Amino acid sequence: MERRVLYELIDILEDLVNTPSPSGFTEGAIRYAEQHLQRAGILTTRTHKGALLATLRGKDETKQRLLTAHVDTLGAMVKEIKKKGRLKIALVGGFSHHAIEGEYCLIHKADGTTISGTIVMHQSSVHVYKDARTAERNEENIEVRLDARTSSRAETQSLGIEVGDFISFAPRFERTNSGFIKSRHLDDKASVAIVLQLLKEVAMTGVSLPYTTHVLISNNEEIGYGGNASIPPKVVEYVAVDMGAIGDGQTTDEYSVSICAKDSSGPYHYGLRKHLVHLCQQQGIDYKVDIYPYYGSDASAAMKAGHDLVHALIGPGIEGSHSMERTHEQSLCETYRLLDAYIQSEMVHEKKDS
């Protein structure tokens, strides 16, 4: 993988993580992806749900592929304006309250403007609250401290803040000299950046794909149904490009592409998984096969929706998923290389052992 390609990919990633897009509030990130693809000469369409679909024509139009990656992220909404003007929040996506304590945030008002704040414990000061260290991090105790002079519900409402306003978390993107990338929302904007860069390179170099390949940039994955619809009828292979989860008992690391054998929805298609592993072995791509016990993807959502296709899940290894996340540029490279090899490979055929 050329360094130029990697640097451009990471630039896209930085742009994306700095574009707020909690599930339900993804227009800015979708528009960014749309403009990137259109500049590369790739035609796109919007789905009724607001996702983005791009198509690269291949030699075979009768059997087609689909890749998906999602731009929606974790976030929150204003649940209540408290008596003293602070905000009670409702979580958007599956994460724990302790993962956002102390984070800077933006409240996105209906008029399109924002007000900044910090997510804090109500019992934040050890000098005032006896239980500051032990109080549970939950919906009752976590709140948003606004960067505005307000001490009452009425004063906060006068700022234009209302129940239902979206709240996005500061990503704090950083690329280290050692090649690590630290940021919120690497799930799944790392994979979106990989896919966008790959499509640009295919369009720029004029690579002839064996099969027409669609790319769905989905926008509701974190709430369970981002990629379960808008799948073109001739698609028979569906690969979700998401993330590999790292932790105790996992094989996934920050330096390889993770290939999922099973998640909470059950096993992924055995034949397609073996095909992806074979491509890694053939191309010298560093990979890990793993099982994610508390995970679901756009591909598994498509299967639950009843689509008749084979499905797989791959992605870069992400440390600290749904918290302060980190990966390494090597993992981005290996995921890119596998996707590049896959879209140029022959279609997987049904076998007795698949």
The pLDDT of residue 189: 98
| 242 known ligand binder | yes
The pLDDT of residue 349: 66
**Cis bond leading into 188, ω under 30°?**
yes
Find all residues with CB under 8 Å of 284, minimum gap 6, and list them.
Answer: none
Domain coordinates in residue numbering, the chain? 3-73+185-343, 75-169
221 an active-site residue?
yes
pLDDT, tens digit (0-9, with 9 covering 90-100), for 243-284: 999 999 999 999 999 999 999 999 999 999 999 999 999 999
Go through the chain and tell me how many residues it has. Answer: 354
| 214 known ligand binder | no
Residue 20 in this model has a pLDDT that exceeds 50: yes
Alpha-carbon distance 231 to 215, whole Å? 10
| 70 known ligand binder | yes
Residue 71 in this model has a pLDDT that exceeds 70: yes
Residue 352 in this model has a pLDDT that exceeds 60: no
Q: Select 3-73+185-343's CATH number: 3.40.50.300, 3.30.110.60, 3.40.630.10, 3.10.20.440.
A: 3.40.630.10
Residue 345's pLDDT band, with cuts at 50, 70 and 90, is: very high
Residue 350 in this model has a pLDDT that exceeds 50: no
Stretch 154-167: mean pLDDT: 98
Residue 348's pLDDT band, with cuts at 50, 70 and 90, is: confident
Residue 1's pLDDT band, with cuts at 50, 70 and 90, is: confident
CATH topology of domain 75-169: Elongation Factor Tu (Ef-tu); domain 3 (2.40.30)
The pLDDT of residue 240: 97
Q: Which helix (H) or strand (E) holds 116?
A: strand 114-121
The pLDDT of residue 138: 95
pLDDT, tens digit (0-9, with 9 covering 90-100), for 180-233: 999 999 999 999 999 999 999 999 999 999 999 999 999 999 999 989 999 999
The pLDDT of residue 38: 95
| 187 known ligand binder | yes
Which of 221, 237, 325, 334 is flagged as catalytic? Answer: 221
Query: 10-19, 59-68, 260-269, 341-350: which has the minimum mean pLDDT?
Result: 341-350
Find all residues with CB under 8 Å of 224, minimum gap 6, and list them.
Answer: 296, 301
Alpha helices in 101-220 (DSSP H): 153-158, 186-205
pTM: 0.96
Give SS3 for 191. helix
